[in-house]
Structure formats: structure tokens, C-alpha cells
Amino acid sequence: MKIGCPKHKLVYNVSGPRNMFETITPQFSKKQFIAAGSFTNKKAPYYTIIGFKEVVKNHPNVGLLMAGYGALLNIFRNLVKYYKLEEHVKFLDIVSPEVYGNLLNGSLAFVNTLLLLKTEIRKVRLHQFWKLVLPDFQY
């Protein structure tokens, strides 16, 4: 409000890491990556699929788990079929934090894509992962 924003436009939204993510010790035991989020244009998971297609060329035994839901989910499923990645990409829909924590435990890395508008200034935080040792790849 000090910078001139009207009070009625402010929304207080508490969001932060769950304590359970502090106790995860990554095992890196499975040849899989994990991605999570909304299947929307802004989250741009198509870049994850396009990039993963290149990974599979050099590492044919690797997998990608994609957790989430959104209006564009069927488009991304079709993209996986188009690139013939059905054996490598598994869509999990929405998962609980506990299930997600277990998936993180065995994964090699968390993969994230996000498109930002030029007018948008935002610090992208991956709340659950800032307390983990699990690598976070953003491209």
C-alpha cells in the first residue's frame, strides 16, 4: 500500500513449503524426472515434453512423471503420442503431497517450465524444493 496500491486490490495468500518436504532425503534411485503443475499455457509443459523428447534420444530408459491437471491436459497427452513417448511419460493427474513426496524421493530431478509476460515481475519459487537437495532444472 505504501507504493499506491488500493487496499481493496490486495489479496493475502499464505503459501509456503510444507514441513514434510524438509524430511525428504532424495535417493535418486529411479531413472525418472518429475514435473508438477497446471496444464495451462502459462505453465508451458509442452516445453518439458519437447525437451524430454531430446533426453530420450540419448537415454532410452528414462521416464517423466507429470502430475497435475488443467484445461490443456489432453493436448499434452496428444503431444506425447505424437512424439511416441507413451512408454516414457506418465500422467498422474492430481496427487497428494504425501504421494508427491514419495515420487520426489526417487526422482533424478524436478523439471519446471513457466512463461512470464514482459510486463510481469515475479520471483518464481518452488516452495517444496527450496528445502531439498533435489536439483531443480528450469529452462
Parse the chain into domains and list their residue ranges: 34-138
Non-local CB neighbours of 17 within 8 Å, separated by 6+ positions: 127, 128, 130, 131
d(Cα 133, Cα 112) in Å, to the nearest integer?
Answer: 16
**Residue whose entry in the numeric block shows the C-alpha cell 523428447:** 53
Per residue in 1-12, pLDDT (tens digit) is: 567 778 877 666
In the predicted structure, residue 84 carries a pLDDT above the cut 90: yes
Architecture of domain 34-138: 3-Layer(aba) Sandwich (3.40)
Average pLDDT of the residues of the chain: 78
Percentage of residues in the chain with pLDDT exceeding 70? 72
Per residue in 13-43, pLDDT (tens digit) is: 555 566 777 777 778 889 999 988 888 877 7
pLDDT of residue 132: 47
d(Cα 105, Cα 29) in Å, to the nearest integer?
Answer: 8
Per residue in 56-66, pLDDT (tens digit) is: 999 999 999 99
